[in-house]
Structure 1
């Protein structure tokens, strides 16, 4: 194994390289369910161009940013399993992800955006229904 690698093993490196940064199955399922409800959105866009944060779905007119968060990467309170190898690296990595998520929520909220976070384990149809309600509320100005 290459000593400069961040991965704890060659297998871990291959698994990590196989993880998608966009268009994951949960993201696609939520997008498909939302589209079936008639919602139209932009995919993988920075809600605020000057801020280096990318949302999975963006409704620019309504100022709604949607993030579909993976349980492992974002520390899901139900499904997150602490790492058993390379513990120091992964603990710090997940902590940074959580801090970035909170900062992203704050930055977008301060700019009058509504942030919606959907866990990857949530039912896509139910998440899309809730998203639709939020979009319609924002359109009415409520």
Structure 2
């Protein structure tokens, strides 16, 4: 995919020339010094991307409804998400089920934030399993109870 990187100032100072770049690039990444970068694309390309993601998600969800599909997904997960190798087998299965559910919900809501959050959470879980010291620290019961945890933003 062709991606052009420019600054937001270039768009503001030379809007016609900057937007003309969309003819040769699928996306323009507008770098901003003090804030999150922006991505600029055409509506037609955004619609294409949305259609492809929706079709892929629906196909994946339907594939998981069959035993052969579930087996195939479990076989390809380590190639798609190399960090699943650190998860116990039952967690890999749970991850695959949660991923399918999240993809189905994301497609119906037209919002992928839940899928991104799920991937982040499972990747962090794999990081814990990959580090024996961290895993021991988080799973060992010290026998001490420090009482209830206060709500965020309230005084302890």
Shorter-chain-normalised TM-score: which range?
A: under 0.3
Please say which structure displays the higher CA radius of gyration: 2
Which structure's residues are more often strand, by fraction? 1
TM-score, scaled to structure 2: 0.22
Which structure's residues are more often helix, by fraction? 2
